[in-house]
Structure 1
């Protein structure tokens, strides 16, 4: 499904060295908080220093050229869609060959979704989809874009794996601006329709990587500026979820001022013989 009028952009990296772990793919997602060019440079330095093979970045400034160029110079292949004056989602990888999959595109705010098929050695492919759900929005458009984007993503989910057509796991990652039912602490602002959006991933076969690894774990990726209360806004889902061998939040970007969000990482097992 899809909206028209947006351009797919790709940036190819120079040759660079990155240590691949046999039998694993490591994914990291981070909301970059509409970073300026100078902060994008620092974010790219930090990302290059992590062990992630694939990164999903959300709340990227319109155009996205600063972070895309910085990542490309550090050995990442970068994919994003031009969204005019709105925020973007970026998927960047430094393993295999990254192939954009434009068929995975919601009908509302399509540039907030970026989907790629990554071709690893010996024929294995994995799918990575980045999502950035709008916030609740200004008073005059409260929840309009958020609800429309969520509905468009829910329509995509049942056919997403077929469109990606990969032989390995499919990962969906990003800032979803929703929390799970039973979130601690409880936030009364969230409605049933938002909890239903979170539940739609499981209904389509995508398990919550954090909950898979930490059934009763408590952690947050963003904290209210006034209340100081935590929210688990950033998520990684996987199909199959059994492929996830580790998942956690990394608070360094938040505590050092690179972003107002923590990063999130997940390690997935893939057949070792194909890497």
Structure 2
């Protein structure tokens, strides 16, 4: 049995292109969707209804209508959902469990504000039994994960520290020397890889594909590319 996972940042809740984005997300025919920059507003309510009409179970944290957060949608019923930690705002790290799999949807803030969330993940994710960390991490290393002329990342060591706890950067594991980016700066048009799937060993050994889909970004439905992975 193949499990298909997709994640996409829909940019400020996606209200300007809500129909196109819902069609895009449903078109991935994924077993699990992690939608970042989701907003709990009218557009968000519509997206949830469209996903649930298509057979998904959904969960997201409480947030103000203009706050960016995470939506998790699963074909399997979600057994429980909760913030990753009570020590930080739940809208950036939201977890759901289904079929014995624990997933953390991730939307990290920018600049130095993201560092406490990284520290929490590095310290607790493996110990807490999180199988998959999925979403927009707003971080990468300053080598292959950004164009050389682009602004340097804050916290470039954090992905490596997370990997050292036992996770695999799924896309990088299949593309060890490639440069491919999920977001481009304006102005400057410099590319950065911001969107990731990190997998615990029992999932990492089952990966068969992980690729970026640049179509939603190129169509200007959002400013990010989607990341789509398949596991046996």
Please report the TM-score for the alignment, with normalisation by the length of structure 1: 0.75
Q: Aligned residue for 1:127?
A: 102
- Aligned pair in 2 of structure 1 residues 30, 36: CA closer, same or farther (>3 Å)? closer
Q: Is the 8 A contact 2:6 2:34 kept in 1?
A: yes
Give the one of 133, 148, 167 matched to 2:116.
Answer: 148
1:1-275 aligned at under 5 Å gives the runs 23-37=1-15, 39-63=17-41, 64-84=44-64, 85-94=66-75, 96-102=76-82, 104-105=84-85, 107-119=87-99, 125-136=100-111, 143=112, 145-161=113-129, 170-183=131-144, 184-186=146-148, 187-191=150-154, 194-240=155-201, 241-269=204-232
Q: Secondary structure at the match of 2:205?
A: helix
Higher CA-based Rg = 1
Gaps of 5+ in 1: 1-22, 120-124, 137-142, 165-169, 270-275
Quote the offset at 1:37 in angstroms: 4.0
Stretches of structure 2 lacking an aligned partner (at least 5 in a row): none
After superposition, the Cα gap between the structure-2 partners of 1:105 and 1:70, relative to the gap in structure 1 and judged at 3 Å, is farther
| Residues 1:159 and 1:47: Cα distance change in structure 2 (over 3 Å) | same
1:111, distance to aligned residue in structure 2 (A): 1.6
Change (3 A) 1:87 1:242: same
Q: Is the 8 A contact 2:214 2:226 kept in 1?
A: yes
Q: TM-score, normalised by structure 2?
A: 0.88
CA distance in 2, matches of 1:227, 1:52: 33
Q: CA-to-partner distance for each residue in 1:174-203, whole Å, 9 max, x for gaps?
A: 000001242242344324xx1222113212
The alignment partner of 1:98 has SS state of coil
**Contact 1:106–1:149 (CA<8 Å) still a contact in 2?**
no
**Count of aligned residue pairs for this structure pair:** 225
CA RMSD in angstroms comes to 2.0
Structure 2: how far apart are the matches of 1:220 and 1:58? 17
Change (3 A) 1:41 1:180: same
